[in-house]
């Protein structure tokens, strides 16, 4: 199930501008939310984090533009599910420089049903000698924890 341009569809071939910088350059952000009991878990915290990332990357977006697809898909998931909310800078000309007049793209995908898998509790960890680049704005998003409200 997909949300794009204000409507929900089961057709995965929803129209998409092939000049979209999210598609071509990875110029965007996403959040993955769990839906249970008719609610997106910690929605405000997810939106706060997405808005903070958008501000860092100078992608102009308002909270309502991000909340609407989540609310619409949550209503369509009575038995719960997973929503991936994606924000991209939108279409732009060739090259790495962001367009002067940005029109961000917001879309979301949902899958259902979802239930916690108790067998997934075991985790194996490894260390890496590769260090993240502390001057890269995208390296900061990995370490931002969600805080319960």
Give which of 68, 1, 57 is closest to 29, Cα–Cα.
57
Q: Which two tokens stand for residue 128?
A: 């890496």
Cα 23 to Cα 2, 83, 89, distances in angstroms: 16, 19, 10
Rounded to the nearest 5°, which phi and psi values hold at 114?
-135, 140
Give which of 143, 149, 141 is closest to 28, Cα–Cα.
141
Confidence of residue 134 (pLDDT cuts 50, 70, 90): confident
| pLDDT at residue 120, as a whole number | 58
- Asked if pLDDT for residue 143 goes beyond 50, the answer is no
- Close Cβ partners of 124 (under 8 Å, ≥ 6 residues apart): none
Return the higher-pLDDT residue of 137 and 94. 94
- Note the pTM of the prediction, 2 decimals: 0.78
- Specify which residues 91 forms β-bridges with: 20
Ordered by where they begin, the domains of the chain are: 2-117+125-143 (3.30.470.10)
- Asked if pLDDT for residue 133 goes beyond 80, the answer is no
- Asked if pLDDT for residue 144 goes beyond 50, the answer is no
């Amino acid at each position: 199930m997909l949300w794009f341009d204000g409507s929900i569809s089961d057709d995965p071939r929803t129209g998409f501008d092939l000049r979209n910088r999210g598609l071509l350059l990875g110029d965007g952000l996403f959040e993955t939310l769990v839906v249970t009991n008719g609610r997106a878990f910690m929605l405000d915290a997810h939106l706060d984090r997405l808005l903070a990332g958008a501000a860092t990357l100078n992608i102009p977006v308002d909270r309502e533009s991000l909340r609407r697809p989540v609310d619409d898909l949550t209503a369509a998931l009575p038995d719960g599910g997973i929503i991936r909310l994606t924000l991209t800078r939108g279409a732009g000309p060739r090259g790495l420089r962001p367009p002067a007049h940005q029109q961000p793209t917001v879309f979301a995908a949902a899958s259902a049903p979802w239930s916690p898998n108790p067998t997934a509790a075991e985790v194996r960890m490894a260390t890496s000698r590769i260090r993240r680049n502390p001057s890269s704005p995208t390296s900061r998003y990995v370490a931002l924890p969600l805080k319960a409200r």
